Amino acid sequence: MYKIAVMGGRDTVMGFKALGLDTYPVSDATEARGIFNKLTSQDEKYAIIYLEETLSKTLAQEIARFTDKATPAIILIPGREGSQGLGLTALQNAVIRAIGTDIL
């Protein structure tokens, strides 16, 4: 049985708690990195980690390690400030990587 985690600012993750997901509120970069490493370690069975967009810059290196692996899936979600479109940018980058140009 696998689990789903939500990482982000306290306000962002709060709602997901009620849905029955595991939530991990973070406030600064070091804390985020620590929690992220813990969630992605072998003994935690997280299949999906939803990550608030604003964290994607600080955790870019860590995220990149998992793009080529089957698990866990790291998915960016918009935070409280509204969508910054980082999810779409990531999609565009993947398309450019695979095809060579941006066709969207």
Partner 1 sequence: MAQKTISPTRMELTRLKTRLKTATRGHKLLKDKRDELMRQFLEIVRKNRELRLRVDEGLSNANRSLAVASAIMSPEMLEQSLLYPRHNIELDMAFNNIMSVNVPVYSFNTELDDSSSIFPYGFAQTSGELDDALASLEGVFKDMLELAQVEKTMQLLADEIERTRRRVNALEYVMIPEMQTNIKYISMKLEENDRSTKVRLMKVKDMVLETAGYGK
Distances (CA, A) of 83 to 2, 20, 37, 44, 87: 28, 23, 25, 29, 9
Q: Which is nearer to partner 1, 60 or 99 (CB)?
A: 99
Q: How far is the CB of 101 from partner 1 (least distance, A)?
A: 13
Beta carbon of residue 7, minimum distance to partner 1 (angstroms, whole number): 14
Shortest Å, Cβ 14 to partner 1: 6
Contact at 8 Å (CB) between 56 and 86?
A: yes
Specify the residue, 41 or 103, whose C-beta has the smaller distance to partner 1.
Answer: 103
Taking Cα atoms as reference points, which of 63, 64, 49 lies closest to residue 13? 49
The C-alpha angle 16, 17, 18, rounded to 5 degrees, equals 90
Chain residues in the site for partner 1 (CB under 8 A): 1-4, 11-12, 14-21, 47-48, 50, 67-68, 70-71, 73, 75, 77-80, 82-83, 85, 87-88, 91, 94-95, 97-99, 103-104
